[in-house]
Structures are given as C-alpha cells and as structure tokens.
Structure 1
Amino acid sequence: MTESQGSLSVRSAWRDVPPVQVRQFAALALDEVPALAHDILREIRAEYPALPVVLDESGEPMALIGIRRALEGFVQQIAAAEGGRPVYPLEVFQEFGRGEGLHGRSLDSLQAIYRLGVRLAWRRLAEIGQQIEIPPPAMYELAESGFEYLDGLVDQSVRGYAEAAARQAGERLRLQRKLMDLLLSERRGDPGAGAPADFGHASGSRSAAAGAPGARSALDERAARVGWQLPERVAVGVLLRPAREAVAPAVGQGVLLDMETEQPRMVVPDPEAAGRPELLRRAMAGWSGAIGPPVPLADAAKSLRWAQAAVRLMERGLLPSGEVLHCTEHTEALVLLQPEELIEDLARRCLAPLAHCGPAHGRRLAETLLAWLETRGGAPEVAARLGVHPQTVRYRLRQIRELWGDEVDDPDRRFELELVLRARRLRGELGRVG
C-alpha cells in the first residue's frame, strides 16, 4: 500500500472545512459508533445468515469488535488536523482473514461484507454531514477516503488469509508425509520381503503387518486427517528432479506427493483407473523417474522397491532416462539386471566355454546362441534374425555344439543360457537383433 493510499485522502475541499466543524462532525460520529456498529452487524447477519459468530474471551462477537474499531479508527483519522496514516485494527481483521482461510472459504464473501458495512456506515456519516452542513464536495472526498480505508482493512484480511493458507498447506504436507511413511514402511525391514512374487499381477492378499487391526486403524486415521480415501490398489513412484529448485509436478488431487526427500516419492491411487495414466503423463512432462507396478494397498512398499530399482538402473544408463517410465513395461530389465551378483555368477558358469574364444568371436557366438535359443529355428531363421548368411550361422552353430555339447539340448541349461545372454544384451554387451 502506497503512502497516498495509506493516509486519509482529504484533499482541498475537506481541508477547507473549518476545524471546529470537523471536530463537531467527528464527535457526533464517535457518539454514533456503538449503535452504528450494532446496526451494521445486524444488517450483515440478515444478508449473510450463514456467517459464523465467533466470540472473544468476554463473550462479545469478534465481528462487532472489528466493526466498532474500524469505525473509531476512521473517525479519529477524520479528526486529525493534518491527516497521516489511518489506524487499522490489525489483529481483528487479520483474524477474519485467517478464519476464512482455515475454513476453506474464499475472501470474496468477506470483501462483500466489508463493502456492505462501508455503505451502511457512509449512509449515517452522510446524515451527520448534512446535519452540520458540511459542503457536498468535502463529503464526496470523505467518501473516497472511506473506500481507501476499506482497502486497508481488506489488505489486513488478505495477509491473515495468506498466513492461514500457508500454515494449513504446511500442516497438510506434514500429515501427508507421515501417511506416506506409514504406508511405505509397513513391510520394510522384513527379511522375507524380497522381490514381490506378484509383480505385474493382481493380488488379493494383504501382508500380515498391514492387515493387522492396529496398523490398519493407524493408516485409516492418518488418511482421514488429510482427506485421502484409502484405495484398493496403488502404484508408487520415485522421481529424479530436473533441477534443484524444480516446481512440484501438478499430479492432481488424490496423488500423494512428498517433495522433501532427495528423490521425491508419490503414491498413485487406483493407477489403472480410466484416464489416470494420461493425466500422470501430462503432469510429469519434464520429469524423469519410475512408477512401480500396481499392487494392493498393503503392498505399497513392494511397488516402491521396484520403482527404486528402476531409478538405479536409469542412473546407470541401463534404462531410458528423461521420462517417467512404468516398471511393468520394463519387467525383463528389472528382473534380469537387479540381482546383478547372481546373474554374473550364473554367467561365469554358463558361458565358461567362451573363455578361450577371442572377444569378438565370443560375442558373435553368444549372439548366435541367443538368437537360436529365442527362435528355436533352423539356420535360415537365425540368419534372418542376425542379418547374416545361413551358411555362417551353420558354421557358428557347429562351434556352439562343440563348446557346450549336449548341454544345449537340456531345457534347464537352455533356460539359464537365455537368462544370462538376455541380461548381457540388456547391458549393451550383445547387439540387439530381430
């Protein structure tokens, strides 16, 4: 608010009013303040019957106190010889704004009430001005000052409203983080909680910990405090910030989002609901990360583990980056690349026959073996998959039989060979074909 807006705008016409007449006007107006405040409150409550009545410690309506103090502040400013800054009842009108914010209402109705109060007050002040014969031009300027004064009161309410909104948003985020911590940590630390067996599939069972009445009631309570309806299924996402000060993605109502961690997390309710994937895709534009598989609510920690695993692979360059990918679309990579030590141990045993081949030749044989395992076709089919001559494939297949012998006919050995070779292809150690 500027200096000119903050001071009573009594210009030439009002300054021409004799001081004794100004004091007379102010005295009469002050005498009217108590009754006028009651009249204004009565009219406001008639116009806005749903307006809550908040009492102070003495049992007096806060609205009545605010109206009375506002009128007194304005009249006292009129009586000041040289003008100056008006005296606003800060705490009362800031509290009005805070009340609107805490109850989830907008400031529109509050401002409408203020305007109604000013019109009613001006009606009485105009009668006093006419009674003591203050010139109309001076009264016009006084009316303008009254609306400037109103702007100051609205400003105080806006400050209180913004303060309440910020406090409420902060409290909601705190409660939301506590809900997410409970939801995502229910099975963390359980030695038996490895990779979820129902990856990519619906599961009707709930874990013992999450299904326990105590844990369930705690989850219900925290969800209720943030107005989150517990869904049947969820998917948990882990995000990578595009920039340190990146604005939170507009994921929409219902999606829990925690931006306080280094890698933000989100819980998506009913992830398979119609329209949800498209809404998320638009909201996550510019972000990267991973969304775990849809799971029953009690298994949210499982979805989180898959999302974390996917993000680690993204950071290593083994999964596409620059987008938010869905784990269910990268099952092969997550299953084969995550247990790295086990796959490497299996690879050393299964691919031992290639140890004495040169790197380039060994790679060609490995690619041919994988193409043969995947197609189970003859030389022409494998050659078409590799883009080489069938005769070349026949030569390589003879070498493969010499190196592995009957093992390539054993179903278990073929399965293990295909696993380790697919893992190497996913890591870029073998060429992609087909």
Structure 2
Amino acid sequence: MTNTVERQEVRRLAGRSAWRDVPPARVRRFAALAMDEVPELAQDILREIRHEYPGLPLVLDPSGEPMALVGIRRALEHFVGRLTAPDDAGREVPPEVFQEFGRGEVIQGRSLDSLQAVYRLGVKLAWRRLAEIGQQVAIPPPAMYELVESGFDYLDGLVAQSVRGYAEAVARQTGERLRLQRRLMELILGDRPRGDPTAALAERAGRIGWQLPGKVAVAVLLRPAPEAVAPAVGADVLLDMDGEQPRMVVPEPDAAGRAELLRRALAGWSGAIGPPVALAEAAKSLRWAEAAVRLMERGLLPAGQLLHCTEHTEALVLLPPEELIEDLARRRLGPLAGCGPAHARRLAETLLAWLETRGGAPEVAARLGVHPQTVRYRLRQIRELWGAEMDDPDRRFELELVLRARRLRGELSAARG
C-alpha cells in the first residue's frame, strides 16, 4: 500500500493523471456498464467469499437480505459512482454496514484478520470484472492501473470503518464486563446475607466466565500516581479500579507461581493482600488488607510493594487496637514513670529481651549487644520496680504485648538476635 501512495504522490506532483486523460464519454460508458454489473457482481463476490470462508456467519438485515450482500453492493455502487463524480464530491465511504461488520467480529470472538482477508478477496474479484469492462470500452492500461490503486485506497477506507466498529464494540464489551465484574466483587466482598450465597455467586461469575475458586485473597492497592495505568494482572484476577484505593480478588492465591506473577504485574504499585480464606469469607481477607494499608500509610509497615498480611501478623494484631494497647501500657508500664526517658527506654528494652528469651544475663546481653554485667544491673532494677508482677504469667504476657507494640512503632530498638 505504501508503494501505491508513493506512485499517486508522484503523479500528483507531476500534475498528470492517466484516468483524467480518458475521454469523459468513455468514462461514463465504463461507469454505466460497471453499475449494471453491480448486482450480479455482488452476488458472485458473496458466493466466492462463502466458498473460501465457509465458517463466516450469514447475518440478515431487517428485510431478510444478507447484510454482507448489502455491504458489497453498496461499496461497489459507491466506488463506481465516484468515477463520474466531481473531484470534491462523493469521497466519503458509506460507514454503517462496514462498522457493523467490525462489531460482528467482536461478537463472534474473532480478530479483524479474517475480515480484512475477505475484503481483499472481494477487491480481487471486483477488479477482474472491472478489467474486463475496461477492455470492452478501451480504457488505456495506465488508467486501469490507476483505477486499481484507487480501489485499494477505497479498501483502506472500508477497513478503517470496520476497525472503528470493532473498537467501539470492544469498548462496550469491556465496559459491560467491568460492570458485571464490579457487581460480582460487591457480592463477594459485601456483608454476607442470610442463606447460602453460592447460587448468586455462580450466576454472576458465569456471566463473565469466572470460575468460582475454593479460596481467595483480597488485596487493597495504593495508586503510585492519579493517572497510573491499571496493573496487568491475569484475566482470572478480579480488579476494581474505580475507588480511590483499587481492590483485587485473587483466586487460589497459594497456587504455584501466583505470588511471582502478582509481583511482576504490580511492579511500581504498593498495597497489601489479605490472608487466603474461603470464597464466602472474602470480606475477612479484605479487612486485614485494609488494616495493613492504613498502617502502611502511617509508615508503620513497609510500602513500595505488595505486602502479604500473613508475613506481618504481629504488627496487624498489636498496632490497630491502639486505644486498648495504650490503656494497657499506661497500667503495666507505670513503674517506669519515675525514670528519665533514656533510662526508661533502656529498661523497657531489657525487660522485653528478658521476656522473649527467659534466659540469664548472657542471653539477654547478646540480644541487646551490651555487657552481661549491665544486664544484671538493669534486671535488678526491673525486679525492684515490678516486684511480684514479674512472677505472674498474665502480667508478663501483658508486658510483652505492650512492649512489642512499642517496638513495632519504633519507640524501642529492635533486638539484634
């Protein structure tokens, strides 16, 4: 096609056209004979197309006539009619039928490749008949060559209309799928109504071809930028990009290779994915993911990637119930109130190391990176401050909870070993 355009441009620049040099009476005679041939030629083209492509469906218009025949006939009539039209008239390709052909390819689940092959076959058959008419009325070969180039240009216009129809149908189909997908996700993630939701889930899932999984994990994402392109997750992953924080339902999250595929698809995104749960309990996974994202936004959990809640259980258990933990901390860490901030922190770190190891001074010292004698001194102070509470298992458990929570918030140093 590039060569065709280049040759036409050369002719235009040279200021000559072989077709324009043909006497007008001969052109009108050629056009009249060609127009008379259009009905039979359209039938022949359709017959040959159906022979070459037997799988193509034959769709009828409201009058009962094959739409393909209507399109072929209209295209031929329009092309032949241009031969005698003024330079600036009749240049538009009739769009409706050919846009509908493009939409039909989407409905039938095919690409545009087969449709373009059909168009090329039609042009080849039409050219044979027009060449015969050209010989009959003595149209010079250079003019006929120019005519066939014009025919392929015309074909480009038909293809463009079909591409437009195809794109519109794909957009509608995609929009409809997204709408149905959101409705499915609403049912999966919403408050569970009374009764078994399996039938309703199966009905909505079937409308988008989604197979109900045994387990799912739900993710909440943080947009890297307002205009960020949706992550390229697999077709079996449900993704809702409408909200400020997109949500994702991942089927069978423990399947081999799933975690790696998600990591690649979500490159540049951050967020959290909840624990695997039964499909009917997906809302639980969502709650964990939402809690993790809130901690990420506060800087209490690492951002910059997809965080797995199952790997941060301690933080998710201890950090969200902030008021309860703080109230417990005020009651259990009261003995530190009379110490200076730096000294109180050192004692708290030593107490937590002892609670976690339940070892002697050497073990605690190794965990803290200090001298055992320093640990012995601190442990004596701790015993003086808490007294008999150090021997109560429930009090020791509560002390460890509040001290771990403070370490998670960065208020205490992390242990070295």
Give the shorter-chain TM-score range: over 0.9
Q: Which residue of 2 aligns with 1:370?
A: 352
Q: Which residue of 1 aligns with 2:274?
A: 292
| Alignment counterpart, residue 142 of structure 2, candidates 110, 117, 137 | 137
TM-score, normalised via structure 2 length: 0.95
* Cα distance in 1 for residues equivalent to 2:290 and 2:209: 27
CA RMSD, aligned part only?
A: 1.9
Mapped pair 1:128 → 2:133: yes
Which secondary structure state, in structure 1, belongs to the residue aligned with residue 19 of structure 2? helix
Q: Is the Cα contact below 8 Å between 1:284 and 1:324 reproduced in 2?
A: yes
Counterparts of 1:9-24 in structure 2, within 5 Å, are 12-24=17-29
* Cα distance in 1 for residues equivalent to 2:346 and 2:141: 101
Mapped pair 1:257 → 2:262: no
* Cα distance in 2 for residues equivalent to 1:282 and 1:87: 47
Structure 1 residues 392 and 81, CA, compared in 2 at 3 Å: closer, same or farther?
closer
Deviation at 1:79, TM superposition (A): 2.0
Mapped pair 1:29 → 2:34: yes
Which secondary structure state, in structure 1, belongs to the residue aligned with residue 411 of structure 2? coil
Q: Deviations over 1:165-210 (max 9, x none)?
A: 11111111111111111110133xxxxxxxxxxxxxxxxxxxxx47
Q: Deviations over 1:360-409 (max 9, x none)?
A: 11111111100000010001111111111111111111111111112111
Which secondary structure state, in structure 2, belongs to the residue aligned with residue 277 of structure 1? helix
TM-score, normalised via structure 1 length: 0.91
Q: Which residue of 2 aligns with 1:337?
A: 319
Q: Is the Cα contact below 8 Å between 1:14 and 1:142 reproduced in 2?
A: yes
Q: What percentage of aligned pairs have identical amino acids?
A: 79
Deviates more, 1:81-90 or 1:128-137: 81-90
* Cα distance in 2 for residues equivalent to 1:101 and 1:406: 77
Mapped pair 1:390 → 2:372: yes
What residue identity is the alignment partner of 2:122? G
Mapped pair 1:173 → 2:155: no
Q: Is the Cα contact below 8 Å between 1:373 and 1:414 reproduced in 2?
A: yes
Structure 1 residues 376 and 58, CA, compared in 2 at 3 Å: closer, same or farther?
same
Q: Is the Cα contact below 8 Å between 1:44 and 1:113 reproduced in 2?
A: yes
Q: Is the Cα contact below 8 Å between 1:231 and 1:270 reproduced in 2?
A: yes
| Alignment counterpart, residue 158 of structure 1, candidates 158, 163, 180 | 163
* Cα distance in 2 for residues equivalent to 1:234 and 1:368: 42
Which secondary structure state, in structure 2, belongs to the residue aligned with residue 247 of structure 1? coil
* Cα distance in 1 for residues equivalent to 2:112 and 2:191: 42
- Count of residue pairs brought into register by the alignment: 409
Which secondary structure state, in structure 2, belongs to the residue aligned with residue 79 of structure 1? coil
Q: Deviations over 1:110-157 (max 9, x none)?
A: 000000001011111111111111111111111111111111100100
Q: Is the Cα contact below 8 Å between 1:74 and 1:87 reproduced in 2?
A: no
Q: Which residue of 2 aligns with 1:431?
A: 413
Deviates more, 1:54-63 or 1:358-367: 358-367
* Cα distance in 2 for residues equivalent to 1:315 and 1:87: 56
Which secondary structure state, in structure 1, belongs to the residue aligned with residue 145 of structure 2? helix
In structure 1, stretches of 5+ residues that fail to align are 188-208
| Alignment counterpart, residue 399 of structure 1, candidates 381, 386, 389 | 381
| Alignment counterpart, residue 62 of structure 1, candidates 67, 76, 79 | 67
| Alignment counterpart, residue 328 of structure 2, candidates 318, 340, 346 | 346
Q: Which residue of 1 aligns with 2:202?
A: 220
